[in-house]
């Protein structure tokens, strides 16, 4: 298992796995804030579906520094289920990254591929955020067609999977091909690559993201107002990408 380590700089606490690669971050004065741009982009599903209600939950595969879990617990009423194979990561999140104790938070210490393959999880999480990296942070540790098909099953009949990939890594085309194969009846949207190299991909089941432009922009304004996320920027980029594809 990767050994979690810490660093701090200018009020930001970072999680590492005993390497220089950043695995997560938290602003010490404002723990629920999403410090890293890619983490904020992982919440882009809010443009298309509302936070799920019980008995369904928001699923987070890979706890990291707990950023997504903290944000969802603060800004939604949803149950959050995090799947993290390394109990040391959970411990450091609770001790140093202010992961709250909440009756809406469940942590499964299990391999993510095994967790999503369990039929018990089918339909449990109509929102599933996937951020699975090891100490080298050079590509997802789970990226097969079978894995993404199991993620699709966890969504149920209607939902969104969000995956953190690296656009400039040779794992990117393989992951995109596998996601498209697993979501053969759906559509994948990709946010523009950020400076750190991350590419956030959304894959849909039982729904289409190709909504009316005005409706999408109106929803983006609401997401910005309610959650403080740069949703209009995301919406404009997708509308531009959609026009390019249709042309």
User: Long-range contacts: 3-11, Cβ < 8 Å, 24+?
Assistant: 3/88, 4/86, 4/88, 4/89, 4/92, 6/92, 6/96
SS3 call for 47: helix
Angstrom distance (rounded) from CA 15 to CA 24:
5
Q: Which residues, in sequence order, are bridge partners of residue 198?
A: 166
Angstrom distance (rounded) from CA 84 to CA 241:
34
Give the pTM. Answer: 0.93
What's residue 208's pLDDT? 82
Q: Running along the chain, 247 residues long, what does each successive block of 10 average in pLDDT?
A: 88 91 93 96 96 97 96 98 96 96 96 97 98 71 94 97 88 92 84 87 90 90 97 89 38
**Per-residue model confidence as pLDDT tens digits over 108-167:** 999 999 999 999 999 999 999 999 986 565 668 889 999 999 999 999 999 999 999 987
Angstrom distance (rounded) from CA 173 to CA 166:
10
User: At 17, which helix (H) or strand (E)?
Assistant: none
Distances (CA, A) of 225 to 26, 71, 76, 233: 22, 15, 14, 13
Angstrom distance (rounded) from CA 192 to CA 185:
23
SS3 call for 140: coil
What's residue 197's pLDDT? 86
What's residue 169's pLDDT? 80
Across 41-195, where does the E strand assignment appear?
57-61, 79-83, 105-108, 127-130, 159-166, 188-190
Angstrom distance (rounded) from CA 169 to CA 154:
27
């Amino acid at each position: 298992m990767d050994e979690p380590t810490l660093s701090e700089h200018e009020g930001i606490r970072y999680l590492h796995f005993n390497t220089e690669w950043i695995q997560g971050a938290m602003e010490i004065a404002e723990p629920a804030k999403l410090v890293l741009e890619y983490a904020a982009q992982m919440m882009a599903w809010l443009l298309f579906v509302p936070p799920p209600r019980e008995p369904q939950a928001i699923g987070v595969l890979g706890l990291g520094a707990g950023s997504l879990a903290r944000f969802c617990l603060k800004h939604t009423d949803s149950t959050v289920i995090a799947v993290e194979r390394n109990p040391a990561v959970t411990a450091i999140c609770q001790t140093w990254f202010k992961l709250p104790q909440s009756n809406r938070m469940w942590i499964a210490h299990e391999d993510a591929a095994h967790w999503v393959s369990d039929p018990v999880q089918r339909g449990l999480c109509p929102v599933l955020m996937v951020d699975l990296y090891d100490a080298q942070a050079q590509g997802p540790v789970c990226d097969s067609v079978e894995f993404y098909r199991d993620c699709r099953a966890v969504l149920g009949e209607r939902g969104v999977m969000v995956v953190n990939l690296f656009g400039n890594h040779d794992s990117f085309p393989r992951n995109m091909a596998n996601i498209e194969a697993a979501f053969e009846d759906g559509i994948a949207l990709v946010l523009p690559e950020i400076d750190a190299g991350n590419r956030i991909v959304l894959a849909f089941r039982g729904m289409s993201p190709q909504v009316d432009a005005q409706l999408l922009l109106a929803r983006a304004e609401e997401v910005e107002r309610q959650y403080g996320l740069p949703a209009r920027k995301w919406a404009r980029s997708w509308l531009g990408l959609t026009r390019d594809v249709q042309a």
